[in-house]
Amino acid sequence: MAPSPALTADQAHARLHELTVIDVRTPGEYASGHLPGAHNIPLDHLDVALPALKTAADRGDLLIVCASGARSAQACRRLAEQGITAATLDGGTSAWTQFGHDTHRPAGTRTPWAMDRQVRLAAGSLVLTGLVAGQRWNAARWLSAGVAGGLVFSALTDTCGMAKLLAKLPHNQPRATDLEDTLAALAG
């Protein structure tokens, strides 16, 4: 299977009017700022969205977006397995904003923390807990060692198990009506 095409932020900006943009970040990350016109379908819900994405891809080109490009590349591979062609945004929304392109935020929503910030808080808290508890119970230090090993594995494999766990928390889940409306808009 050929790798998914990637568009730079400037290429995507120039073609934005002709692309259907799918943001695979969590709803919290999406609410913190997304490409204009982007639809939010979290990576964990991609399989449910396949029929709507197939319909949208039949009408025009899909651009899959995340924060850095890693999750969108994963989504593109999953879509390709289903015969759906999609491009990824090289560098994700980080590159998009770095090049000075505008992002949109839903009106009236508070900005939740980005997933990388949630991971840093959880990992740091677990390491600190392991070290503090290790002062009294030596075995508690294994908690810190386990988190450190997980961070090394995460860096080497460009995956993040902790982010996958945190994405399942209620504040990182789309409301059912939001996902249903998004899928209806893509299928319609």
Cβ distance 105 to 31 under 8 Å?
A: yes
**Helical packing angle, 176-187 and 46-59, nearest 10°:** 30
What is the C-alpha separation between 25 and 74, in angstroms, rounded? 12
Find, among 18, 35, 44, the residue nearest to 169 by Cα: 44
Catalytic residue status for 66: yes
Q: How far apart are the first and last CA of the chain?
A: 29
Q: Which candidate in 19, 22, 63, 66 is catalytic? A: 66
Burial 62-99, CB ≥16 within 10 A → b, else e: bbbbbbbbebbbbbbebbeeeebebbbbbbbbbbbeee
CB atoms within 10 A of CB 20: 20
Contacts of 166 (CB under 8 A, 6+ apart): 115, 118, 119, 122, 172
Active site residues: 66
